Each structure stands twice: as structure tokens, then as C-alpha cells.
Amino acid sequence: MDRIPNKNMTETKKIRVLIAKPGLDGHDRGAKVVARALRDAGMEVIYTGLRQTPEMIVEASLQEDVDCIGLSILSNAHGALFPRIVELLRAEGRSDILLFAGGIFPDEDVPEIKRLGFRGVFGPGSDTRDIAEFIRTEIAARGPVRG
Amino acid sequence: MTVEPDLATRVSAGDRRALARLITWIEEDDPRAHAALAALYPRTGRAHIVGVTGAPGTGKSTLVSALAAEERKRGRTVGIISIDPSSPFSGGALLGDRIRMMEHIADPGVFMRSMASRGSVGGLSVATSDAVRALDAFGRDVVFVETVGAGQAEIDIVRTAHSVIVIEAPGLGDEIQAFKAGILEIADVFVVNKADREGADKTANALKVMLDVGNTMKQRRSGGPARVVGPSAAELAYHGAPAAGRAGPHDPPEDPVEWRPPILKTVAAERRGVLEVVDALDAHWRHLRESGTITQRERERVEDEVRQLLGRTLTRRCIEASGAERYAALVDAVTARALDPRGAVEALIGAWRGVARGVARGAQRKEAD
């Protein structure tokens, strides 16, 4: 069965995900692993590379018309960068985009990140299948994709 | 119901969110995209569409990014569509061309969109043409379409551009591969990128030799050169200046001197040689318009598109008309060798005709009422 091209191919609604690394840390192994896993889960993943400003991330997500943004951060700069990204998305009228975060966050920061509107926060050791499942479930709950 | 300005109006007013959504709907073959495109169609036909193709690793994205920067310097707005393959197994795609184009992200004069091939050959060409048209209606002066030159489908896509850049790079061992793929015939400009690497001259020379051979064969087939312009002129034309510009005042305009694709060397990552590529694109665009070739190309492009759309629309309608169950049964029958593929196609067309006749009868009845 595996050798037969997947029926997803003919499905016209695709989940589009932007994976971005805001801030200055140069470690993108985790972001790349997640990007690859989401591709294998049948999603279209736009990867923007390292050292992105909130403005760059929001502009790219607008042009790519994504359903979901995953932000990977290891530099502990989320306190400054995440609120800015949420604010810019709101200003562009795209608060509907699903947000999740990956990386290392102090436990006490997680509630604040979730309060900002990040529906998922995935720390080290997270199963990429769980991330894919999370995205699928969240998008499905929002009704028809980009309807 | 909320009244929002219609998508086509927003796109033509320069709303990039509307443009982004229109391209999404185009990719999903959403009827709302068809309506918006129909409304936008009269506004299209102004952009210079440039196809960029070449093997993976030749530096297409880097070159497109550098070309976009040079076009911006010349005061033109830019649209970029980058196509990457979808995985045939998961249907997903990893679209990474943006990494090399992020330098333009703060510039509203550059709009870039990544598209996945989504496995459907005809569908991709149609969606790409529509996305290009959306960027055209959005008011972009130049639209680059970048694709991996790995198959016929990709060649079809870039062939629909006004000007096609084929990129090679030394040391990939793919010179012969490129010639095999028939990629030589579609190029208007050749770029040997990564020209600071060893073997760049060899790659450029190999291209030149293949072009010369192709040209000699063309002349033989047509019984000699169509119009003798002399070896020196031909040699000059070789390096990108539009030969049409040298045509004498008494030369009839319908007999344009053939465009000879220049071979240009670049180091796109360092912006070297990029100016010359944009010069060549400008010269080719001028050549197309002055020689009248543009009309012919445009007609070919439109015909190609109409045919693809026809094939795709008929396919969908035939399958719809026969119903999912009957369609599956036909496929099963062909698999079991109980029916041949053409037989299945005839059956599907028959089903569609039946539906079409039913519709016609319904219309007649209505008229009779």
C-alpha cells in the first residue's frame, strides 16, 4: 500500500504551515525535524530559515496564506518575540492563524505563552506525530480550511 | 451576510492578503477563484513572465533573488512563484525556496509565493498560469516562475513564460542530462551559475557547442539559413544583443532575425553577472515585442492553456457524470483486463454525453413551457 502514491495527492484542501525561527539562536535542527515530519504527515511546509524578525515571519505567512505558524526558539527570547508576532498578526487581521511553539521554555512561562494564543507548546522530546495530530485536530475544529 | 469588497477588486487595488487568498483558492480549484480570475482577466497581459529552470542545486532560488533585486533597482515590481515537488507518498511538501529570498521580505515591491506541485501534472500548469495571472493583475511588472527542471511537466510550465532562463552549474555532471531533457530548445537565456567554480568554462563551452549543432541542424532542415546575416552579425547576436535591432530599414518586420540565446556566467550568491542577465531579459522582451514574436508566443501559450483546461474540465465532468462507483468499477475492470483503458474512457465520455443530453432536454422542456 505504501508504494501507491497517496490519495492525499488529489485532495485539494491542503494544510499549509510556516515553520520559522525568530530570534538569534542558530540551532534549527528541531525546526527542520518538525518541518520534515509535517511534510510526511501530508502538509505543505514553508521553511523560512534562521534569524527571522517578527515582521518577516508575519509577512511571509501572509504571502503564503498559511493555516498555521510554528515558531521554534531556543534562545529564551520568546518573552519579547511572541507577543510582537501575535500583535502583528492581529494588526493584519490574521488572528485566525493557528500558532504553536517549539523549543525550550521555562515551565512558569508556558501559561503565558498559551494565554497569548499559542494553542500548543512542544518541548524537547515531543513526538512529531503528536504535533501533526495537534495541527490536524485544531484545523478541523476551525471548520473548513480557509473557507 | 457580510458585504465585503469582492476579491478581484481587492487584488487589483493591491491588497496582498487578497492576492494570497486568491492563489490559495486557485490551488484548491475553488469556484471563487474562477470568478475572480474571470473578472481580473482584462487587467492581465502586461507583466513580463520569466521562467527559470534547472537541475536541483544549480542555484535557481539564489539567482531569482538576485534578479529580483536588480529588477527593483530598475524600478520594476516583482512577483515570484517557486514550485517545489510534493512527496508522491505523503502528498506533503517542504517548500524551502523562501530561505534564499528573505532579503526582499520587507519590500512591498516583491511578492513571493511557494507552490507545491501537488502531483497533478495538468493541474499544476493550470494553477501556475492562474497564479501568474493573479500577480499580473496585481500589477507586477515582472513575474518569475521558478521550477525544478526535472521533468516534462516542469518544462511545460516554464515554456508558457515569455522568456526562459535555463541554469546550469559546473561540476554537477548534468550537462548531458540537460540536453537529453530537451531543455536546450526552451531556453532564451542560458546561465552558468557558480561560475567561480572549476569547470565553469567547460560547461559554458559544452552549451555553446550544443547550441551550434542545434542551429546547424535547423538550417539544414530548412534548406540553409533563412536569411543570411553574415557570420559576424551572427557571432555578435550570440552574446545577447537582439539581432532584430540590427535589421536594415528595408527588412520586412515579419521576417525577424532569430534570437540566439546568450550564455552568461554568474555567481548569483555574490551578485556577479546578474546585471547582464537582466540586460539579456530586457533585450529578449524587446526582441519579442519588436519582432512580433510576442503575439505568436502569446497565442501558443493561450492555446496550450485552453487545451489543458479543456482536458482537465472534461476529465472532471466525465468522472462526475458517471459517478464515483461506476468510475471505480471501470478502473477495476481495466485492472482485471476485462476492459482496455480506451474502452473505459469511451464509457466515461458516454456517461458525460448522457448527462449533457439530459441537460439539453431539460432546457428544451423549459423553453416549451
* Pick from B32, B10, B196: nearest CA to A146: B32
C-alpha span between B333 and B327 (Å, rounded): 10
Q: Do B92 and A44 touch (CB under 8 A)?
A: yes
Determine whether A106 is exposed, middle or buried from the number of CB atoms within 10 Å of its CB (0-12, 13-18, 19+).
exposed
- The answer to whether residue B156 is domain-embedded is yes
* Pick from B328, B356, B274: nearest CA to B52: B274
- The answer to whether residue B362 is domain-embedded is yes
CB-based contact, A82 to chain B, within 8 Å: no
Residue B233 has a pLDDT of 42
C-alpha span between B65 and B77 (Å, rounded): 13
Q: Do B86 and A44 touch (CB under 8 A)?
A: yes
- The answer to whether residue B11 is domain-embedded is no
C-alpha span between B138 and B18 (Å, rounded): 10
Backbone phi and psi for residue A98, each to the nearest 5 degrees, phi listed first = -70, 130
**Chain B residues touching chain A at CB-CB below 8 Å:** 16-17, 20-21, 23-25, 27-30, 86-96, 98-99, 102, 105-106, 111-114, 116, 118-120
Q: Where are the beta strands (DSSP E) in B197-344?
A: 263-265
Our CA angle for A69, A71, A73, nearest 5°, is 180
- The answer to whether residue A124 is domain-embedded is yes
Which residues in chain A touch residue B20, judged by CB atoms under 8 angstroms apart?
A: 62-65
C-alpha span between B191 and B182 (Å, rounded): 16
Q: Examine the domain organization and report whether B52 and B170 are in the same domain.
A: yes
Q: How many CB atoms lie within 10 A of CB A144?
A: 8
Q: Examine the domain organization and report whether B149 and B191 are in the same domain.
A: yes
Q: Examine the domain organization and report whether B347 and B255 are in the same domain.
A: no
Q: Examine the domain organization and report whether B51 and B177 are in the same domain.
A: yes
Helix (H) or strand (E) holding B93: strand B93-95
- Residue B222: left if φ>0, alpha if ψ -120 to 50, beta else—which one? alpha
Q: Examine the domain organization and report whether B261 and B362 are in the same domain.
A: no
Full strand arrangement of the beta sheet holding A44-47? A118-122, A98-103, A68-73, A16-20, A44-47, B93-95
Q: Examine the domain organization and report whether B327 and B243 are in the same domain.
A: no
Bridge partners of residue B232, in order along the sequence: none
- The answer to whether residue A91 is domain-embedded is yes
Q: Do A47 and B23 touch (CB under 8 A)?
A: no
Helix (H) or strand (E) holding B82: strand B78-84
- The answer to whether residue A136 is domain-embedded is yes
CB-based contact, A33 to chain B, within 8 Å: no
Q: Examine the domain organization and report whether B205 and B269 are in the same domain.
A: yes
Q: Examine the domain organization and report whether B343 and B284 are in the same domain.
A: no
Q: Do A36 and B87 touch (CB under 8 A)?
A: no
CB-based contact, A109 to chain B, within 8 Å: no
Here the cell at position B125 is: 500548469
- The answer to whether residue B336 is domain-embedded is yes
The domain containing residue B232 runs over which residues?
47-96+142-291
- The answer to whether residue A145 is domain-embedded is no
Nearest CA in chain A to B106: A56
- The answer to whether residue A23 is domain-embedded is no
Domain boundary among B259, B291, B323: B291
Q: Examine the domain organization and report whether B206 and B347 are in the same domain.
A: no
Nearest-by-Cβ selection for B90 from A41, A49, A64: A41
C-alpha span between B169 and B178 (Å, rounded): 11
Pick the residue of B61, B102, B130 with the most A CBs within 10 A to test the interface with A by mutation.
B102
CA distance B68 to chain A (A): 16
* Pick from B152, B142, B141: nearest CA to B117: B152
Residue B159 has a pLDDT of 66
Q: Do B119 and A10 touch (CB under 8 A)?
A: yes
Q: Are A124 and A104 in contact (CB under 8 A)?
A: yes
- A123-143 burial: b if 16+ Cβ within 10 Å, else e: eeeeebeebbebbeebbeeee
What CATH number has the domain bearing residue A113? 3.40.50.280
Q: Do A55 and B105 touch (CB under 8 A)?
A: yes
- The answer to whether residue B87 is domain-embedded is yes
Which residues, given as ranges, of chain A have pLDDT below 70? 1-12, 143-147
Pick the residue of A2, A3, A9, A135 with the most B CBs within 10 A to test the interface with B by mutation.
A9
Nearest-by-Cβ selection for A63 from B89, B91, B112: B112
Which residues, given as ranges, of chain B have pLDDT below 50? 1-3, 223-255
What CATH number has the domain bearing residue B282? 3.40.50.300
Q: How many CB atoms lie within 10 A of CB B361?
A: 10
Residue A115 has a pLDDT of 94
How many domains in chain A? Answer: 1
- The answer to whether residue B80 is domain-embedded is yes
Q: Do A9 and B27 touch (CB under 8 A)?
A: no
Nearest-by-Cβ selection for B88 from A5, A46, A59: A5
Q: Examine the domain organization and report whether B271 and B157 are in the same domain.
A: yes
Nearest CA in chain B to A56: B105
- B63-74 burial: b if 16+ Cβ within 10 Å, else e: bbbbbbbbbbee
Domain boundary among B291, B322, B342: B291
- The answer to whether residue A123 is domain-embedded is yes
Domain boundary among B291, B324, B353: B291
How many domains in chain B? Answer: 2
Q: Do B99 and A47 touch (CB under 8 A)?
A: yes
Q: Examine the domain organization and report whether B224 and B279 are in the same domain.
A: yes
Q: Examine the domain organization and report whether B280 and B358 are in the same domain.
A: no
The domain containing residue A123 runs over which residues?
64-140
Pairs across A and B, CB distance < 8 A:
111
Residue B156 has a pLDDT of 72
Which residues in chain A touch residue B28, judged by CB atoms under 8 angstroms apart?
A: 12-14, 146
Nearest-by-Cβ selection for A40 from B92, B95, B120: B92
Q: Do A62 and B20 touch (CB under 8 A)?
A: yes
Question: Alpha carbon A105 to chain centroid distance?
Answer: 16
- The answer to whether residue A31 is domain-embedded is no
Helix (H) or strand (E) holding A140: helix A128-141
C-alpha span between B294 and B292 (Å, rounded): 5
- The answer to whether residue B232 is domain-embedded is yes
- The answer to whether residue B324 is domain-embedded is yes
Give the amino acid at B171.
G
Q: Are B353 and B366 in contact (CB under 8 A)?
A: no
